[in-house]
């Protein structure tokens, strides 16, 4: 690949802008979790955290003045631990500072063990219009192995409560490859999720990540062949129920794909607020990534900027960064999106595309950047074509 200047070029037009807000507290740290989450110790400092988020926002505004926010995601941790009143005030203040799209998607992650009907009612009244329930499994034995604080019956009840609160866009998070889980049990979880008729299902394999309790004491999981067979059978179950696979582990009814995550996968910009949140922003001098102070106590105590690790994405890393996201999408992306969102000419991908197409890993359609079925099956290998280019 030809040499490029060390800093990223500037796209001709700005990509869409999303907002991510991190709520770092949880009731109990799950043994598989490598997110920035911290077990709460007493009452949550809602007022102090709200003030810190708003100060954080003020420091971010110069980079996004006048840009419309198309989606907002409250992630964690366990965002449903915070009160509806917290979100009512926060959303009001965010709207005062940022132009929200008329049809903005606003998602809240919720743990079935931390919500009751009145909280769902309050979240919906605050303006949250999409709910992501962290179910993981409906099998109580497997939930205990995962360290979850809820049972299967609570997860089913929570989905019904969310519907009664007026949520018409619900995601259920499920995992397979759990300790002691048979393929039949994994598919039973899927069928139970489908019976609840969510608009979206995230179904992914339990992976053991560094810096987790499971990494230090790995559980026994099904073997690789069993995992692969379970996955393929699950794809069939979801497809038969009308859930289209549009990303590696995301399945949705028609027109119910998660717009916030789609913005990540198409290399859009995302503003980050909250302890440990990560952001990407296009500035007049290039494309930058950054993160926020990680520990909640430090984030709350910070007097100056909470942004740290701000660095331009080097031009020679942009192809890999873009394709690492875009090829997660089953249909890929329009080829024109690469120059539009990176500022680089499409021919920067030419060598890797030629090699991938020759091996049957990438689509031959010159108008799209997409994997073939074989390329999806060997996604890490396919992505390596661009990371090593």
* Whether the predicted model's global pTM rises above the 0.85 cut: yes
Domains in the chain: how many in total?
2
CATH of the domain at 346: 1.10.10
pLDDT at 26: 92
Whether 274 is in a domain gets the answer no
Whether 259 is in a domain gets the answer yes
Q: Are residues 218 and 353 in the same domain?
A: no
Q: Are residues 250 and 375 in the same domain?
A: no
Cβ count near 209 (within 10 Å): 12
Residues whose CB is less than 8 angstroms from the CB of residue 176 and which lie 6 or more positions away in sequence, other chains included = 186, 189, 203, 204, 205, 206, 227, 230, 231, 234
Whether 195 is in a domain gets the answer yes
CA dist 150 to 118, 185, 259, 280, 357, Å?
18, 18, 28, 34, 46
Q: Are residues 142 and 65 in the same domain?
A: yes
Whether 139 is in a domain gets the answer yes
pLDDT at 305: 83
pLDDT at 11: 78
pLDDT at 388: 56
Whether 275 is in a domain gets the answer no
Q: Are residues 240 and 333 in the same domain?
A: no
Which domain covers residue 181, as residue numbers? 17-263
Whether 273 is in a domain gets the answer no
Choosing from 240, 263, 286, the residue where a domain stops is: 263
Q: Are residues 334 and 225 in the same domain?
A: no
Q: Are residues 39 and 173 in the same domain?
A: yes
Residue from 302, 374, 346, 381 nearest 51 by CA: 302
Residue from 154, 153, 141 nearest 219 by CA: 141
pLDDT at 215: 86
Q: How do the pLDDT tens digits run along the chain, 389 residues long?
A: 334 444 567 776 899 999 999 999 999 888 888 888 888 888 899 999 999 999 999 999 999 989 999 999 999 999 999 999 999 999 999 999 999 999 999 999 999 988 889 999 999 999 999 999 999 999 999 999 998 999 999 999 999 999 999 999 999 999 999 999 999 999 999 999 999 999 999 999 999 899 888 889 999 899 999 999 999 999 999 999 999 999 999 999 999 999 999 999 999 999 999 999 999 999 988 999 999 999 999 999 988 789 988 999 999 999 999 999 999 999 999 999 999 999 999 999 999 999 999 999 999 999 999 999 999 999 999 999 998 54
**Rounded-to-integer distance, Cα 96 and Cα 258, Å:** 25
Q: Are residues 208 and 76 in the same domain?
A: yes
- In the block, tokens 């609160």 appear at 165
**Residue 51 half-sphere exposure toward CB, CA atoms < 13 A:** 7
8 Å CB contact between 321 and 313 = yes
Q: Are residues 94 and 219 in the same domain?
A: yes
Residue 137 token pair? 């499994």
């Amino acid at each position: 690949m030809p040499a490029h200047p060390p800093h990223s070029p500037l796209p001709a037009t700005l990509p869409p802008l999303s907002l991510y807000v991190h709520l770092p507290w949880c009731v109990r740290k799950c043994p598989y979790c490598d997110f920035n989450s911290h077990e709460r110790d007493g009452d949550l400092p809602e007022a102090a955290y709200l003030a810190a988020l708003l100060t954080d926002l003020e420091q971010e505004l110069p980079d996004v003045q006048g840009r419309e926010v198309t989606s907002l995601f409250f992630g964690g941790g366990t965002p449903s631990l915070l009160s509806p009143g917290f979100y009512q005030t926060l959303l009001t203040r965010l709207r005062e500072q940022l132009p929200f799209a008329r049809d903005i998607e606003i998602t809240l992650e919720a743990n079935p063990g931390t919500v009751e009907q009145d909280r769902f009612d309050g979240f919906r009244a605050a303006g949250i219009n999409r709910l992501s329930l962290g179910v993981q499994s409906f099998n109580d034995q497997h939930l205990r192995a995962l360290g979850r604080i809820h049972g299967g019956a609570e997860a089913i009840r929570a989905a019904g409560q969310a519907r009664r609160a007026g949520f018409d866009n619900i995601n259920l998070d499920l995992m397979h490859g759990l300790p002691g889980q048979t393929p039949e049990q994994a598919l039973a979880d899927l069928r139970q999720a489908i019976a609840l008729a969510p608009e979206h299902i995230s179904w992914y394999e339990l992976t053991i990540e560094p810096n987790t309790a499971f990494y230090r004491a790995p559980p026994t999981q099904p073997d690789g062949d069993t995992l692969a067979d379970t996955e393929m059978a699950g794809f069939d179950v979801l497809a038969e129920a009308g859930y289209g696979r549009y990303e590696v582990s995301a399945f949705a009814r028609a027109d119910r794909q998660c717009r916030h995550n789609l913005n990540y996968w198409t290399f859009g910009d995302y503003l980050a607020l909250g302890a440990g949140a990560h952001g990407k922003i296009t500035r007049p001098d290039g494309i930058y990534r950054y993160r926020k102070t990680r520990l909640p106590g430090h984030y709350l105590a910070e007097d100056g900027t909470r942004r740290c690790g701000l660095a331009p994405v080097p031009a020679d890393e942009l192809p890999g960064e873009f394709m690492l996201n875009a090829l997660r999408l089953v249909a890929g992306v329009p080829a024109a999106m690469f120059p539009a969102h990176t500022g680089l000419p499409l021919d920067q991908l030419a060598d890797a595309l030629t090699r991938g197409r020759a091996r049957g890993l990438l689509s031959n359609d010159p108008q799209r950047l997409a994997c073939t079925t074989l390329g999806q099956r060997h996604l890490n290998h396919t992505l390596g074509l661009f990371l090593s280019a």
